[in-house]
Amino acid sequence: MTARKKPKSPSRADTEPKPKPKPKSRSSKPRAGQAVVLLAGGNPQIAKADGDAPVQAYIAAMPGWKRGLGERLDALIVRNVPEVRKAVKWNSPLYGVEGQGWFLGLHTFTHYLKVTFFRGAALQPLPPGASKQKAVRYFDVRAGDELDEAQMATWVRQAAALPGWVP
């Protein structure tokens, strides 16, 4: 004959309702007064917004040597396209012309800063970085690279004169 086990009576912990977990914030974007979060590769996480202020916040948060390069590129773009429109979208500064779309974007990576020409395949000479998208060309700048500002200015003026990318 086998012994029957007594059914276990529920303990108090089993019968009390469990506290609900606090909801997690859906956004890890910094609030006013908080430090900017750097994403993978040191890319600053800046809230999506139009205007110069979010672009300047992005540039100010760029780590190390990339900040100075970002400042130089921003000034070069403004000098060559005085009517430039700026915004931060997808954690990247974008530059465009009103009514034409975006012609250029910047993105910070661990070892380089990527300049994206959205209609770069139409630029002369062709920027060196190919893309899976036919029209797009890239120019990567790494620490210690000498930036040819005259060439960059030529590309910026050409790119601004083309119909831009409209997401």
Condensed to tens digits (0 to 9), the pLDDT of residues 51-92 reads 999 999 999 999 999 999 999 999 999 999 999 999 999 999
- List, for residues 113-147, the tens digit of each pLDDT value: 999 999 999 999 999 999 999 999 999 999 999 99
**Fold topology of 37-161:** Aspartate Aminotransferase, domain 1 (3.90.1150)
How many CA atoms within 13 Å lie on the side-chain side of 160?
A: 22
Q: What are the residue boundaries of the structural domains of the chain, listed by start?
A: 37-161
At residue 116, the pLDDT reads 98
**Statement: residue 158 has pLDDT above 80:** yes
Q: What is the mean pLDDT of the chain?
A: 87
Please compute the mean of the pLDDT values over residues 34-40 and round it to a whole number: 75
**Statement: residue 108 has pLDDT above 90:** yes
